[in-house]
Structure 1
Amino acid sequence: MNAQTLPDIAAQALNQALPLDWVGMCGIALPILFNGQRIAAKADAGVSLDDGEARGIHMSRLYLALEMLEDISLTPTLMRQVLQRFLDSHEGLSSNGYLRIHANLLLKRPALVSPLAGWKSYPIEVYARLEREVFHVELKFDVSYSSTCPCSAALARQLIQQQFVADFANQPLAHADVLAWLGTTQGIVATPHSQRSSAQFRVEFAPQLSSFPLVELIDVVESALGTAVQTAVKRADEQAFALANGQNLMFCEDAARRLTQALAQIPAIGAFEVKVIHAESLHAHDAVAHSSWQRNTA
């Protein structure tokens, strides 16, 4: 049987004609180049089906167009080119194209004090659409950090004060005795609770953006929080991490405000949303805060 005699079910007449907003494929395995790394990704690719009389789209054409992403670093320009190829291959059928890429970016991060370093994984998602020749691109990413509760810290300090009064009441204070007391569990009777937390971002960029400044964004976020989770550590790093947590007490509201103020200073960003999740160690539920921001272009 040759190609001319193969049945073409898609060309058969429809019982009911109706345009569709999005038709395509999800979860396509794909290697991409991002930030100098070749990483395994999953792609969702689709187009609108404007011609309600057409049975369907040409999914193989979308699949083949994704080959453009394999050997060229992922940029907004490249994503627009892929979307244009989607539409060029569906002329007369589609006016809108969509491409979403999910991956995990690995960054090697140094320890706080020691010369150690280790890899951290950052979930990322890049979403681009070309709708009636208008291009839009946005980036989602997550950053993990530690958060120590200010209320819990204050309550712990009060208990330590009470213990100090109980242990040294009506006694002359000697420097050596107080110093020794501070180094015991008898003295430090309580510690504040902290938890691993997550900040989730959706960022829209200016139309003329030439590359995705993801590493810059992650650096800004981790600097603003001050307590990014660590990889390989020595005791000196663990102590420095404890100090960072003690100097960066924060409710989820505090973290959301810090991040909003920090990201608003980045010129490439046109708008963003941030969701902060503190996975409570005190409660069986999470504490959550949302914030959004849009650049005033007036």
Structure 2
Amino acid sequence: MNSNNTPQKTLPNKQERHKLFGSVKPGPKTKPVDKENMKDLQNMQKDFLFELNAVGVTNIKHPIIVNSDTSPNTQTSIATITFTSSINQMSKGTNMSRFMEQLATYNEQGFTTDLVTLKQFVKELAERLGQRDATIELKFPWFYERQSPNTNLSGLNHTDLMIRISYHRETGYQIKVGLSVLITTLCPCSKEISEYSAHNQRGDVSIEVELDQSFDENEGDWKLALLEAAESNASARLHPILKRPDEKTVTETAYENPRFVEDMARLVAADLYEMPFVTSFTVTCQNEESIHMHDAIATLSYQKH
């Protein structure tokens, strides 16, 4: 008996416990154990009815290194990654392990999200797979330093980034990047009709752009460019630290710059239109309304060339 008068149990050993719950001894093994003698179903060649646009692995969690022109200049993050390639009608499947082997190779030196590195990665991946194309997509949080407007107290804000790079043997690269960032908007209608005050809300600005194939990150940080396009057109930016003088400034700034979601979408689009390295874009602004049960949303897409 123990101190609380509960009877002690006598347990069977671990092997017996496993047997109790259904484990059995290994049966006879008759199939080959050497890779060269194993049947390769994935590489079977036959008419399998349709070509597949994308086959691969997804929901991979992996550490990455993010470089930036703003502080912190180098940071680690965790990305959710998808690797795919097309499969022609005469091929049954792809070699799933090769996607992860490619990632392991790059991880040995630290897997960075620089576009030059990712373009090299995806081209080599297509070659490793023996396919004409391959795509990598990464989604991850990126942190950037933000100072309060009056007291200059620093903290870290963050935004969610997306990078999608496709390589095709004949057509080259397609590079798409994006971000989703929170901002403040103040309702122009509320300001116009009210004797005093106006309601505001937190908005989410999502941007996805296609970059020109010749874009060079040494000439500018696309992350900062997209972030500035979203935040500079809002009623006010969000801050990790605000003292009372800062709060006064942010509140008055929002009041001086009222924005509908429609205004936000159009203003952000104008900034993206003026970026020479952006060939097409989609902007979505969604406000979590403070006096309605619903959200407000506006979306704008534009192809420059």
Cα separation, 1, equivalents of 2:192 and 2:207: 30
Task: Name 1:45's counterpart in structure 2.
Answer: 83
1:42-191 counterparts in 2 under 5 A? 42-50=80-88, 52-67=89-104, 69-70=106-107, 71=110, 73-91=112-130, 94-134=131-171, 135-157=173-195, 160=196, 191=197
The 1:8–1:292 alpha-carbon spacing in structure 2 relative to 1, beyond 3 Å, is closer
Task: Tell me the SS of whatever aligns to 1:225.
Answer: coil
Task: Name 2:20's counterpart in structure 1.
Answer: none
**CA distances 1:190-228 after superposition (whole Å, capped 9, x unpaired):** x31111001110111111112252123212431232511
Unaligned runs of 5+ in 1: 161-190
**Contact 1:25–1:59 (8 Å) recurs in 2:** yes
Structure-2-length-normalised TM-score: 0.79
Letter in 1 for 2:119: R
**CA RMSD of the aligned region, Å?**
2.1
Pair 1:244 & 2:291 matched: no
**Contact 1:32–1:69 (8 Å) recurs in 2:** no
Letter in 1 for 2:54: W
Deviation at 1:44, TM superposition (A): 0.2
Cα separation, 1, equivalents of 2:105 and 2:116: 12
Cα separation, 2, equivalents of 1:100 and 1:74: 11
Task: Name 2:29's counterpart in structure 1.
Answer: none
Aligned length: 261
Task: Name 1:175's counterpart in structure 2.
Answer: none
Cα separation, 2, equivalents of 1:272 and 1:40: 26
Percentage identity across paired residues of the two chains: 22
Deviation at 1:266, TM superposition (A): 1.8
The 1:263–1:15 alpha-carbon spacing in structure 2 relative to 1, beyond 3 Å, is closer
Cα separation, 1, equivalents of 2:166 and 2:160: 20
Pair 1:22 & 2:57 matched: no
Task: Tell me the SS of whatever aligns to 2:42.
Answer: helix
Task: Name 1:260's counterpart in structure 2.
Answer: 269
Letter in 1 for 2:140: A
